[in-house]
């Protein structure tokens, strides 16, 4: 077991396989994109698998592939197969914008993917196109339907955006209920590239939960997943709420993050200060046990996102 200095068991790793994305979401990156990592510096599938094998042997049992947009990386199903077959890995998941999921869902399922989370901030095509600067909502809905059909465990993530989608909560919830899938509402995270957008559109989880509580019969659910969401049961369905800013959950944090360049972050809210370049260290022959011990020792008790934004963009970090 991997246990940090605050008694938290670390059993979950998020893996950014690329910093590239086919969307340009307003809260994620500038319109012209971000400075991209040189392709030669991005971890190969074999390097990712090697790192995960080491962590799985020491207690990591759940992993999630992210990006950028993970499905645009060539032959991503190959990596899913490699990672899902590693001894000790019990759950393999992906978070995606869903834009090309329709063509990938079945092969991902066949290669060992257990679950997929699709970002869905609006069901209005005009709003969706404006938010993503590029996308069509029909592509995402088609991907969701195909993922359900393929037998994947599908969840939806909706970033709450003041003045954008708070009037759509009912519609989004009903969309999930009709398909018998879980939807989670998430607070907008502050990053260096979206501080003005964040100040204008941040909406606390409490607003969403109170709106839904007024409209539906509900009860608190004991359901838990790999992440920090807290759930209500509404009409036999689950609705989750993730409140990283207004009601933090650092005391239950069970995760670390592997970036596409090989750096592992101990905390999303403390970037370079609490991270280790595993790719460089392993290439220099440093002890994996010493590196992991160092990572656990530097993991902070809590983030400081109320005072300092996330360095860079969410696309470059992997969320």
pLDDT per residue over 190-207, tens digit each? 776 677 888 899 999 999
Q: At what angle do helices 137-150 and 125-132 cross, to 10 degrees?
A: 100
Given this model, what pLDDT does residue 28 score?
Answer: 81
Given this model, what pLDDT does residue 65 score?
Answer: 98
Kind plus residue range of the DSSP H or E element containing 205: helix 205-215
Q: Report percent pLDDT > 90 for the chain.
A: 74
- Residues in CB range of 198: below 8 A, 6 or more apart: 27, 188, 189, 190, 191, 309
Of 207 and 34, the one with more pLDDT: 207
Given this model, what pLDDT does residue 313 score?
Answer: 60
Of 43 and 226, the one with more pLDDT: 43
Q: What tokens appear for 238 in the block?
A: 């689950």
Q: What is the pLDDT of residues 20-33, one digit of tens each?
A: 999 998 888 777 77
Given this model, what pLDDT does residue 309 score?
Answer: 56
What's the number of CA atoms in the CB half-sphere (13 Å) around residue 14? 24
∠154-159-164 over CA atoms, to 5°? Answer: 125
Q: What is the pLDDT of residues 243-265, one digit of tens each?
A: 877 676 788 899 999 999 999 99
Mean pLDDT of the 128-141 span: 96
Given this model, what pLDDT does residue 185 score?
Answer: 97
- Terminus-to-terminus CA distance in the chain, angstroms? 24
Given this model, what pLDDT does residue 243 score?
Answer: 85
Q: How confident is the model at residue 76 (pLDDT cuts 50, 70, 90)?
A: very high
pLDDT over 60 at 318, yes or no: yes
Say if CB 102 and CB 143 are below 8 A apart.
Answer: yes
- Residues in CB range of 262: below 8 A, 6 or more apart: 41, 43, 47, 51, 277, 278, 279, 280
Q: Is 156 helix (H, G, I), strand (E, B) or coil?
A: strand
Specify the range with the lowest mean pLDDT, choosing from 41-55, 191-205, 285-299. Answer: 191-205
Given this model, what pLDDT does residue 199 score?
Answer: 86
Mean pLDDT of the 233-251 span: 85
pLDDT over 60 at 120, yes or no: yes
Domains and CATH numbers, the chain: 2-317 (3.20.20.70)
Given this model, what pLDDT does residue 104 score?
Answer: 98
Task: Report the alpha-carbon distance of residue 316 to residue 85 in Å, rounded.
Answer: 27
Q: Is 12 helix (H, G, I), strand (E, B) or coil?
A: strand
Q: Which of 133, 136, 180, 138 is nearest to 156 (CA)?
A: 180
Say if CB 152 and CB 116 are below 8 A apart.
Answer: yes
Task: Report the alpha-carbon distance of residue 81 to residue 86 in Å, rounded.
Answer: 9
Mean pLDDT of the 219-224 span: 92
Instruction: Report the chain's mean pLDDT, rounded to a whole number.
Output: 91
Query: What is the residue whose two structure tokens read 């939806």?
Result: 156
Query: What is the residue whose two structure tokens read 């409209």?
Result: 215
Task: Report the alpha-carbon distance of residue 261 to residue 258 in Å, rounded.
Answer: 8
Given this model, what pLDDT does residue 272 score?
Answer: 64
Given this model, what pLDDT does residue 304 score?
Answer: 67
pLDDT over 70 at 118, yes or no: yes
Main-chain dihedrals φ then ψ at residue 218, nearest 5 degrees: -145, 165
Highest mean pLDDT among 85-94, 194-203, 219-228: 85-94
């Amino acid at each position: 077991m991997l246990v940090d200095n605050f008694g938290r068991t670390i059993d979950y790793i998020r893996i950014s396989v690329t910093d590239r994305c086919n969307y340009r979401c307003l809260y994620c990156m500038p319109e012209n994109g971000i400075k991209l990592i040189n392709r030669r510096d991005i971890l190969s599938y074999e390097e990712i698998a090697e790192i995960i094998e080491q962590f799985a042997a020491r207690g990591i049992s759940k992993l999630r592939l992210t990006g950028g947009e993970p499905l645009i990386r060539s032959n991503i199903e190959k990596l899913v197969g490699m990672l899902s077959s590693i001894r000790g890995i019990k759950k393999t998941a992906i978070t995606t914008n869903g834009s090309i999921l329709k063509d990938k869902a079945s092969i991902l399922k066949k290669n060992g993917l257990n679950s997929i989370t699709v970002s869905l901030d609006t069901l209005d095509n005009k709003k969706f196109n404006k938010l993503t600067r590029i996308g069509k909502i029909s592509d995402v809905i088609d991907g969701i339907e195909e993922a359900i059909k393929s037998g994947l465990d599908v969840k939806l993530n909706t970033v709450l955006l003041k003045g954008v989608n708070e009037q759509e909560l009912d519609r989004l919830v009903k969309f999930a209920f009709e398909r018998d899938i879980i939807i989670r509402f998430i607070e907008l995270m502050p990053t260096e590239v979206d501080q003005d957008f964040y100040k204008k559109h941040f909406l606390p989880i409490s607003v969403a939960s109170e709106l839904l509580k007024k409209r539906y019969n509900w009860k608190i659910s004991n359901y838990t997943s790999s992440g920090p969401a807290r759930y209500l049961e509404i009409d036999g369905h689950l609705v989750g709420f993730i409140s990283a800013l207004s009601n933090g959950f650092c005391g239950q944090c069970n995760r670390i993050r592997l970036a596409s360049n090989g750096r592992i972050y101990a905390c999303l809210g403390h970037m370079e200060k609490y991270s280790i370049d595993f790719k460089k260290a392993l290439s220099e022959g440093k002890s994996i046990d010493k590196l992991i011990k160092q990572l656990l020792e530097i993991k902070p008790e809590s983030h400081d996102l109320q005072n300092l934004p996330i360095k860079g963009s969410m696309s470059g970090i992997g969320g």
